[in-house]
């Protein structure tokens, strides 16, 4: 009889404890506990740092350690690849969402962005090249990033699959062990007006534009005019990207002068690294001092070694 009484007392106590415990009202992620970036090699140890805030019906908050069992196996598997993921967290029947950014700290990476800073999320492939050898292309992910675990070396970066209406400077981006993470900012292509002749040069503005040379007649040269709105030192650069040596484009500037004075304007030619040795094109890069409101005219030739028709981009920038 005494044993039965003891059992009844224990049972009542248990029921009371369960009934009296404050119910969970909601849960959320303790944002301060979430790492900004997680190295893919340290997933589990970084997840251990994360806490849940469990709020009861009285508004009281308690912290609960995050457990891997709170996410699905499929979501956990995603975290083995670099990227940004939003996953569902389940705790005692309550759900919330957790956003994690995963990266491979030891890998080389290239991020491709539109001019407004938005990532280019599809179509673009990135190659790391050294000498005349380019590694297999890597697609950007849905954050606009391509990762590659490769040996340390001096690389120049080449990208293919650029969205229509945009370009980039193929001479501007290099990477090595001290600079593994590169961001490429695409340039919006501007429209041209005019005919490209000496009497009717293409009218350009600061920025990038695309031109095509036919090679027929005077088709290996075109004239351009540029009127800066701000005085300063400007660059005129060609951005030819054809990587095949047998199909290279070899552009160069003939002269530059003002609309009223065609005498040569002083300008300096800058070295363009990587092109000749790497089977890319022989691009030019000239700098000159310009006055606001003055129209400058220049002509760009392509050599007879070029395979026609030849299409490439030119950029004018400060």
pLDDT of residue 310: 83
Please state which of the ranges 132-146, 193-207, 236-250, 297-311 shows the lowest mean pLDDT: 236-250
For residue 204, pLDDT over 60 is answered with yes
Please give the Cα distance from 293 to 256 (Å, whole number): 16
- 72 and 86 both lie in a single domain: yes
> Which 8-state DSSP code applies to residue 180?
-
- For position 303, what pLDDT does the model report? 78
Adjacent-strand bridge partners of 238: 314
Domain boundary among the residues 46, 80, 103 is at 103
Choose one of 159, 187, 215: the last residue of a domain: 187
Question: Which of 16-25, 148-157, 275-284, 297-306 shows the highest mean pLDDT?
Answer: 148-157
> Is 275 a member of any domain?
yes
Q: What percent of the chain has pLDDT over 90?
A: 51
Q: Are residues 291 and 306 in the same domain?
A: yes
Q: Is 8 a domain residue?
A: no
**pLDDT the model gives residue 282:** 65
Please provide residue 263's backbone torsions phi and psi, each rounded to the nearest 5 degrees: -65, 155
Give the per-residue pLDDT at 105: 85
Q: What is the pLDDT of residue 217?
A: 64
- Does one domain contain both 235 and 288? yes
Residue ranges making up the domain that contains 221: 202-317
Q: Looking at residue 178, what is its pLDDT? A: 95
Q: Residue 7: inside a domain, yes or no?
A: no
CATH of the domain at 142: 2.60.40.10
Out of 55-69, 163-177, 258-272, 279-293, pick the least confident.
258-272
Tokens 């040069």 correspond to: 201
Query: Tokens in use for 70?
Result: 């709170």
DSSP code string of 160-176: E-PPTTEE--TTS-EEB
Rounded mean pLDDT of 303-314?
Answer: 82
Mean pLDDT of 181-203: 93
State pTM to two decimals: 0.73
Q: 237 exposed, middle or buried (CB, 10 Å; 0-12, 13-18, 19+)?
A: buried
Indicate if the pLDDT at residue 70 is higher than 90. yes
Query: pLDDT at residue 274 above 50?
Result: no
pLDDT of res. 35: 92
pLDDT higher at 280 or 224? 224
- pLDDT tens string 208-255: 999 988 877 666 889 999 999 999 999 888 887 765 544 567 777 776
| Cβ–Cβ under 8 Å, residues 235 and 285 | yes
**Whether residue 63 is found in the same domain as residue 127:** no
Q: What is the pLDDT of residues 27-36, one digit of tens each?
A: 999 999 999 9
The predicted-structure confidence for 114-127, as pLDDT tens digits, reads as follows 999 999 998 999 99
Given a cut of 60, whether residue 14 has pLDDT beyond it is no
Count of structural domains within the chain: 3
Rg of the chain in Å (alpha carbons): 30
Quote the tokens at residue 126: 């990135």
Q: pLDDT value at position 19?
A: 42
Sheet containing strand 267-269, strands side by side: 207-213, 310-317, 232-238, 285-290, 267-269
- CATH number reported for the structural domain that contains residue 30 in this entry: 2.60.40.3630
What are phi and psi for residue 7, nearest 5 degrees? -60, -40
Residue of 116, 170, 110 lying closest to 143 (CA atoms): 110
């Amino acid at each position: 009889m005494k044993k039965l009484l003891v059992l009844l007392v224990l049972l009542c106590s248990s029921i009371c404890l369960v009934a009296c415990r404050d119910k969970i009202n909601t849960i959320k992620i303790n944002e301060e506990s979430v790492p900004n970036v997680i190295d893919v090699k340290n997933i589990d140890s970084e997840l251990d740092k994360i806490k849940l805030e469990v709020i009861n019906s009285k508004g009281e908050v308690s912290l609960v350690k995050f457990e891997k069992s709170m996410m699905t196996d499929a979501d956990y598997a995603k975290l083995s690849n670099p990227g940004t993921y939003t996953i569902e967290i389940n705790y005692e029947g309550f759900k919330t969402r957790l956003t994690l950014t995963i990266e491979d700290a030891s890998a080389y990476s290239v991020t491709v962005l539109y001019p407004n800073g938005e990532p280019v999320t599809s179509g673009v492939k990135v190659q790391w090249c050294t000498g005349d050898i380019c590694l297999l292309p890597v697609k950007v992910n849905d954050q606009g990033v391509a990762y590659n675990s490769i040996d340390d070396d001096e690389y120049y970066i080449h990208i293919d699959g650029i969205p229509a209406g945009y370009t980039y400077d193929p001479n501007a981006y290099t990477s090595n062990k001290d600079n593994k993470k590169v961001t490429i900012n695409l340039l919006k292509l501007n429209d041209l007006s005019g005919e490209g002749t000496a009497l009717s040069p293409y009218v350009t503005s600061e920025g990038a534009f695309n031109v095509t040379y036919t090679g027929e007649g005077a088709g290996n040269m075109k004239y351009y005019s540029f009127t800066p709105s701000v005085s300063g030192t400007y660059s005129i650069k060609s951005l030819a990207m054809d990587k095949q040596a047998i199909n290279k484009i070899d552009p160069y500037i003939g002269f530059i002068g003002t609309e009223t004075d065609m005498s040569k304007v002083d300008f300096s030619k800058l070295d363009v690294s990587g092109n000749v040795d790497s089977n890319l094109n022989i691009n030019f890069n000239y700098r000159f001092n310009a006055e606001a409101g003055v129209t400058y005219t220049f002509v760009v030739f392509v050599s007879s070694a070029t395979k026609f028709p030849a299409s490439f981009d030119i950029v004018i920038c400060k």
